[in-house]
Homo-oligomer: A and B are copies of this chain.
Amino acid sequence: MVSTFELEIVNSTNKKEKPSQDQVPFGTIFTDHMLTMEYSSDQGWHEPKITPYAPITLDPAAMIFHYGQTVFEGMKAYRTEDGRVLLFRPEKNFERLNLSSERLSIPPVDEKLMLEYLTKLIELEKDWVPSTPGTSLYIRPFIISTEANLAVAPAQSYKFMVILSPVGSYFPGGMKPVIIHVEDQFTRAVKGGTGMAKTAGNYSSGYQAQAQAKQAGNADVLWLDGVEKKYIEEVGSMNIFFKIDGEVLTPELNGSILKGITRTSIIELLNSWGIPVTERKISIQEIYQAFADGKIEEVFGTGTAAVISPVGELNWQGRKMVVNNHEIGELSQKLYDTITSIQTGKVEDALGWTVEVK
């Protein structure tokens, strides 16, 4: 018998068929196994298990359903040309998971141990990591509050899980600049709120704004700060960068935007190339002025999903700002190429960002 603190592995005996690599829909196909771990106030985190992917059973009064005490992460495993499997800065995701948990009053996990367990899970599911360019195995760690109790208070019990989903290329037809609506009515996050945490409520609260923006032909929204509706925050699931008159700019971490791991990596990469990045408050008015002055060179979103998503147009209060003639900027392309090459082992990982799963 395994101790309640040792990883138990139960192999699936009924393996699923893998999807065709060319037509993998995002986030609806899951691998054969999942990782689970339980928390109780007397035992702490315990019972780590890798078991066949299966539904979970919860009391209808489980706190997750009522008060949203939950956090999650998003990362990827990449296949190299020579068939190896690499993770990209996974320790940063577990670090951020714990930061999110702190904001949501959820007990922290052991970051090193979680990475160890995750590595075991990916090892077992190695065949699920696709190899077509642009594809990857999406990794979704999350924690939900499971105590059955309608009291509005932190739970006494939680479940940590990791599920895996093979995903297709973010740009199946090749990278393409998107049109983004600058949102000045709805608010995603505000000072003193949960914007810096990766927690469920931050996402569904954006659906109305996103639906309206999409209806008007935009791919997503660019959120402005919740206080003055003046300063740029981030796009749906991406941070945002500007290249204006030769200078690279991105909104500073102000407590209401997520500290993207792609964002951090881009800043470090640019610095390693001798290109400084200015992190500061950036007003939408200032961007409009730079546009009017013909000084906006590039705009791009950054996140695990796309790595780099060039922005070809920003719509703000009926004003249209076309960026770089709807074409991919040189820096955007170089950053995309470099990071995806590091992720897939095509170039030397000089910055030590990847972790191989043996």
Residues of A within 8 A of B (CB): 26-28, 30, 34, 53, 55-61, 64-70, 72, 103-105, 138, 140, 142, 144-145, 148-154, 161, 163, 165, 185-188, 190-194, 199-208, 210-211, 226-229, 236-237
Chain B neighbourhood of A202, CB < 8 A: 68, 201
B67-A204 in contact (CB<8A): yes
Q: How far is the CB of A221 from chain B (nearest CB, A)?
A: 12
Q: Assembly of this chain: how many copies?
A: 2
Q: How far is the CB of A102 from chain B (nearest CB, A)?
A: 8
Chain B neighbourhood of A151, CB < 8 A: 26-28
Which of A56, A148, A154, A192 is most buried by chain B, counting CB atoms within 10 A of its CB? Answer: A192
A199-B30 in contact (CB<8A): no
Q: Nearest residue in B to A148 (C-beta to C-beta)?
A: B28
B186-A205 in contact (CB<8A): no
Q: How far is the CA of A145 from the CA of B28 in the complex (A)?
A: 15
Q: Nearest residue in B to A59 (C-beta to C-beta)?
A: B55
B69-A207 in contact (CB<8A): yes
Q: Nearest residue in B to A211 (C-beta to C-beta)?
A: B105
Chain B neighbourhood of A28, CB < 8 A: 61, 148-151
A149-B65 in contact (CB<8A): no
Q: How far is the CA of A77 from the CA of B199 in the complex (A)?
A: 34
A30 interface neighbour in B61, B66, B191, Cβ under 8 Å: B61
Chain B neighbourhood of A53, CB < 8 A: 60
Q: How far is the CB of A223 from chain B (nearest CB, A)?
A: 10
5 of the cross-chain contacts (CB-CB < 8 Å) are: A28-B149, A55-B60, A60-B163, A69-B204, A192-B229
A192-B200 in contact (CB<8A): no
Q: How far is the CB of A160 from chain B (nearest CB, A)?
A: 11
Q: Nearest residue in B to A28 (C-beta to C-beta)?
A: B149
Q: How far is the CB of A329 from chain B (nearest CB, A)?
A: 26
B65-A203 in contact (CB<8A): no
Q: How far is the CA of A259 from the CA of B278 in the complex (A)?
A: 43
Q: How far is the CB of A328 from chain B (nearest CB, A)?
A: 24
Using A190-B190, A191-B187, A226-B191 as known contacts, say yes or no to A161 and B201 having CB atoms under 8 A apart. Answer: no
